Structure 1
């Protein structure tokens, strides 16, 4: 089964994302900030990361830059999930190593579509 790490300082967002991802057949882990997420990735590298931009301790941009520098850190597909809607900021996230970008608020259809676009089909299959 594929694993997705949800990184967001909001417990509510993590809970919503967990439900969506589990319904899509993913094993889900959670982290409240980029530093916690980086430690998690050091232990078990996920297949995908759903990543918030603005968080305490380490923000999403710093996390993705540091993840990509880690051994095996190029493998996870990183989807930024943020309220940032400035095109220059979105480009900055993609240039830093993100694979996709989702605007908050999001729903299951949006997440499933982005995962399918990234060819991340969990063992249960995506129901699109």
Structure 2
């Protein structure tokens, strides 16, 4: 049971939803702050280019799935947007590695709340993700 919301969040591996696990290891059908906002043109604070990202990060920190969200960001090697309550800096490798480490620490702290005794899925190798992204960029 989540102390934040008073109910037990449902967590399933993204593969249970037919998604590629390397893209997102966890998914949920539970309401989240990032899905409560109806993004539209110029109205997506989680991926904006302005100060609304800071507001989105504050809202994100109230989410009962913040640990899994950050884990998804690390698994997908996200570079932009707001994930796990953190504003990502774009393609700045040194800053991203620090953020990934911070998000993994946050996930470990929240894992008992968000997953109970279930084990976390293994993160894909960072080098495999980079190769896949490079191949996609080359093909485009």
Higher helix share: 2
Quick check: which has more Rg, 1 or 2? 2
TM-score (norm 2): 0.31
Higher relative contact order (CA 8 A, sep 6+): 1
Higher strand share: 1
